Amino acid sequence: MKIVKACSATFPTTATGSLVGMDVNGTLQITNSFPFPTADVAASDSHPNDHMAASNLAAAAPRSKANVAYQNEMIKCLREVNVDANNVGWYTSANMGNFINTSLIENQYYYQKEINERTVALVHDVSRSSQGALSLRAFRLSPSFMAAYKESKFTTEKYVSAELLVGIVLILRQHAKDEAHLQGCSD
């Protein structure tokens, strides 16, 4: 619910954030998330496409030095209050299924290479979700793509013929607190 709320609040601008949780017997459990701080585009540069500039900044956020420091500080704070605080990936918002771009590839490559090869990119499509069904998907870069990207042998031809992303099965479980809140709303 936190991811959906964060992504919806910034729509149509891209929202990004960190996922924390645990890897239990090969199952990645995402137990918490927090958004990365947003970068404001200067008001004096007001332009009809300012949301595009803000989206580009937000899309690059997961690997920016300032946000890496922010993420590490947040994880430290979560550990202090005894909450699952292992970095298990990041999330981003999408619009009408459009999410595969250079920023997604570079961010996920960074996470899989620097943090843990099992980290995931969780994509929430705000516009599709507004049509009635939650659109939430998880991905990792394929091992073959990771190798090609590392060796700088990535080309458009390889992109078309190679498996770029590996879809991850999601099982959503609602936190008891959220369920109680929703139950109270329906009464």
Read off the pLDDT of residues 21-49 as tens digits, 9 standing for 90 and up. Answer: 888 888 888 888 888 887 654 443 444 44
Cα gap 87→76, rounded to integer Å: 11
71 vs 160: CA distance, rounded Å: 34
Query: Which CA distances in Å does 22 have to 114, 140, 153?
Result: 17, 16, 33
Q: Which domain holds residue 177?
A: 2-186
Q: How many domains are there within the chain?
A: 1
The CA distance from 158 to 77, in Å, is 42
Q: Report how far residue 142's alpha carbon sits from residue 149's, in angstroms, rounded to the nearest whole number.
A: 10
**SS3 assignment, position 82:** coil
Residue 12: asked if its preceding bond is cis (omega within 30°), the reply is yes
pTM of this prediction exceeds 0.85? no
Q: The domain spanning residue 8 has which CATH number?
A: 3.40.140.10
pLDDT, tens digit (0-9, with 9 covering 90-100), for 166-185: 887 777 776 666 556 555 55
Closest CA to 31 of 177, 183, 133: 177
Cα(146)–Cα(143) distance, rounded to whole angstroms? 5
Give the pLDDT confidence of 101-119 residue by residue, as tens digits. Answer: 788 888 889 889 988 888 9
Q: Are 127 and 98 in contact (CB under 8 A)?
A: no
Q: Cα–chain-centroid distance for residue 100? A: 12
